[in-house]
Amino acid sequence: MTVNEALKQIEAFENTNSALNHAAGILYYDGDTVAPEGSVEIRALTLGEISRMSYELITSPSFIEALETLYANLSELSEIDQRKVKELYREYDNTRKIPMQEMIDFQIHLTESSAVWHKAKETNDFASFEPYLQKTFDTLKKFASYTDPEKDPYEVCLDKYERGLTKEKCDKFFKALREKLVPLIARVGKADQIDDSVLHLNYPKSQQMKFTDFLVDVMDIDRKHFGVGETEHPFTINFTSKDVRITTHYYEDNLSSSLYSVVHECGHALYELNSMPELFRTTLEGGVSMAIHESQSRFYENIIGRSKPFCALILPFLKNEFPEQLGNVGEDEFYRMINRSEPSLIRTEADELTYALHVMVRYELEKKMMSGEITAKDLPSEWNRLYKEYLGVDVPDDKNGVLQDSHWSNANIGYFPSYALGSAYGAQMLNEMKKDIDVDSAINSGKLTAINNWLREKIWKFGCLYDPTDLFNMVCGEFNPEVYVEYLENKFTEVYKI
């Protein structure tokens, strides 16, 4: 096989692979947004088939021959093709180590698991979900022993979401956060609490939907390739950079919930929408890792979205839409309400300051589950114990506790640390960005175009061309969690006037 023939073969692979991912993605999106309840079985069967086709595709002899041909001739390839071959080889190598039938069975299991979790959360019934969750952890452990028998199985999971991430790095990072944040949270706790009750008046869904439209405009997202759906748990999904969807959830007694879900998911969406055209439909298109992804989504949600100028930007729209609820609220008052901090139960509703503690709970539990120290049966009580220990709150029931997130139901184990890591990345990105542009003016302008442009050039356009750590270092230099801590200290001492 010549290098050119091999490149053609890789292109054909990528076309089919993109189609299978697109199909699986749209089945998942439909399943979570509008599909009838009884469609779970057939969707699981179809996703199982697609998973088999993907497996056969990446282990097909002609594809492997092409990969090996290119691997042997790396120096002849363009930078993009070199990276592609290395990434595909890695993926192939990981896939072939897992027996096909086990992969398919796991895919079918996950589709069911997701449906069972939805129902379990609704009915506050952890017991029904427990065996599915245990099986998910067990399977991931088994798969880790296939792909990397020498490595700690939880580190195999961490590496999947943030290449190179280890328990040691996480422990160190979380320790640094905890040492500084716990006393800061305690100081905030003693200060006069901010009254944000007006944010919990009645905000009709139809008007919140108009507000979503406004936010999408502010974030300068190309609607031709973007859509918004509704789900219990907001998420972003992309079918190449030409079709990216976010979802949100409207609560009529909570104005900021959908607001910050939308801004957060739009951050993910912008990243996915802006890979350079050369990467369209290839393995290298889209976000490179979950921590870099969360650095974008949480940057928009918190650093931009909960900033003074952003609050000042959206308040007139909100006053106009909700004059009775917000007519008397001043800019500074609104900004402080939006940044009200208090240890709470739900991660996605948590304020910027206490957020990392929610992540730490999940990190500790995942570590223990993967090491076998605890089993799924222990999760509710362990969850509740750690929420008490870290956040000082009592968890009233599992739907407000261990059942709140969808991640575990989809086998996204090792994902959570990315949220905290991404938040910390974002603080360093802000400092870098400020060297090039006037961030506040960019927000004041009413459209985030200048901010988008900076991030596109520094991060988004590269897709998966660089390892996440390398990409971060290119933009921000060495990672230093102190920058994040300092950002939080400055912000919350001012918000709480302490």
The catalytic site residues sit at 265
What is d(CA 272, CA 25) in angstroms, rounded to the nearest whole number? 14
CB of 229 to its own copies, least distance (A): 7
Residue 73 or 202: which CB sits closer to its own copies?
202
Q: Chain-centre distance of CA 128, in angstroms?
A: 26
Residue 12 or 77: which CB sits closer to its own copies?
12
CB of 69 to its own copies, least distance (A): 23
The residues pairing with 251 across neighbouring beta strands, listed in sequence order, are 254
Residue 273 or 365: which CB sits closer to its own copies?
273
Take residue 105 and report the two structure tokens written for it: 């069975």
Residue 120 or 303: which CB sits closer to its own copies?
120
Closest to 94 measured CA to CA, from 123, 55, 65, 42: 55
Residue 46 or 82: which CB sits closer to its own copies?
46
CB of 244 to its own copies, least distance (A): 8
CB of 225 to its own copies, least distance (A): 4
* 489 contacts: CB under 8 Å, gap ≥ 6: 180, 184
Residue 179 or 232: which CB sits closer to its own copies?
232
Give residues in contact with its own copies (CB under 8 A).
15-16, 18-20, 22-24, 26-27, 29-30, 33-39, 41-43, 45-46, 48-50, 53, 222-227, 229, 239-240, 242-243, 245, 281
**End-to-end Cα distance, the chain:** 69
Take residue 302 and report the two structure tokens written for it: 């918190």
Helix axes 481-495, 167-190, angle to 10 degrees: 10
CB of 281 to its own copies, least distance (A): 7
- Judge contact between 432 and 487, C-beta under 8 A: no
Take residue 445 and report the two structure tokens written for it: 């302008």
For residue 354, the one-letter residue type is T
CB of 282 to its own copies, least distance (A): 13
CB of 273 to its own copies, least distance (A): 10
- Backbone angles phi and psi of 148, in degrees to 5: -150, 75
CA dihedral 430, 432, 438, 443 (to 10 degrees): -30
Q: Chain-centre distance of CA 184, in angstroms?
A: 26
Residue 77 or 100: which CB sits closer to its own copies?
100
Residue 20 or 176: which CB sits closer to its own copies?
20
CB of 26 to its own copies, least distance (A): 5
